[in-house]
Amino acid sequence: MADLVLGGLTKRFGTVAAVDGIDLKVEHGLLCCLLGPSGCGKTTTLRLVAGFIEPDGGTIAVGGKLLSDARASLPPERRAMSMIFQSYALWPHMTLFDNVAYGLVLRGLGREAIRAKVEEFLKAIRMEALAERYPGELSGGQQQRVALARALIVEPEILLLDEPLSNLDANLREEMRFELRRLHDRYRYTTLYVTHDQAEAMSTADLIVVMNHGRIEQAGPPETIYNRPASAFVARFIGGTNILKARRLDAQHVAVGDLALRCASVPATGDLVVSIRMHQIALAANRAEGTANTAAVTIRRRVFLGASNDYLVELADGSQLRVTTTPETDLAVGARAWVGLPERHCLALAE
């Protein structure tokens, strides 16, 4: 069982801590996404795990076996991990067959065994007809599928992916997400996957780790990250939300301007914000039943998006909210209306 455990992992470049004491456990067979803006330390973390750079502190263990600590670090070729790169990194002077076969050649397998296994994997990515082609003759999507086969064929204990879909166009990216997930469900390798694209993380990961400034902001399944963000940063990064500055009133209430909001729970100390998802706000011409968490607004902008309407509304104190509604909601710009902010969707978070 190859679980991956990082303990206090730290890497400094000069005086900057690119990775600042990361603790993480990825259970065997799970696909874990490291998600965050550029410069958050996610790629450095991945390269530390791969062994391409040596940590300044902390430990990396796979299946209970220590690969790296403060004193010694195994070189990448002895870590039984395979890495997949944004640039595909197929060897341009080798055919697809030779690219996929190389890992097995290194492991000293016989000719026939290699041929059989490479053909099986080329079939799994539906590219058996192109075995004798060179990478330069393939599209980006095809190259990335070959890179996947090349990485999977050696049966790594850990699979590492560094923004594998970022070089592909939007349609192909979506298709490859499902392909990645399909291959993961089939082979079940413990996987560490770096991306800055939240949709990619949501659709592929079992576990999402949101990183910022070299630290983990929050780790959890996609539903938790989306519905229960632990910080304003996470709420903002997993897009589609309104963030309003707030003041604590009591354990259940905050004040946004002069509007009192009832929230699920309120942190005891610190600067607060309230996060409310755009599509979880109710917008109507008249005030809804019950008076809790409602406010009068003025419609400032309306964009019809086909499947939905996107409104920008202004509260009495001038702060603005974005609201996504059904296409039937029809309110004119400049009109007065009411928003309803459901208590369970008003998340008071430490800023």
Residues lying near other proteins in the complex (CB under 8 A) are found at 50-52, 75-83, 85, 87, 89-93, 95, 102-103, 106-107, 134, 136, 147, 150-151, 154, 160
CB closer to other proteins out of 19 and 50: 50
Q: Which residues contact 328 (CB under 8 A, 6 or more apart)?
A: none
Tell me the HSE value of 62 on the side-chain side, using a 13 A CA sphere. 21
Helix axes 96-106, 111-124, angle to 10 degrees: 130
Q: How many CB atoms lie within 10 A of CB 145?
A: 23
Helix axes 170-187, 140-152, angle to 10 degrees: 20
To the nearest 10°, the Cα dihedral for 59, 33, 76, 157? 90
Cα–Cα distance for residue pair 25/6, rounded to 1 Å: 6
Q: What's the Cα-to-Cα distance from 104 to each of 27, 33, 81, 84, 155, rounded to whole Å?
A: 27, 28, 14, 17, 10
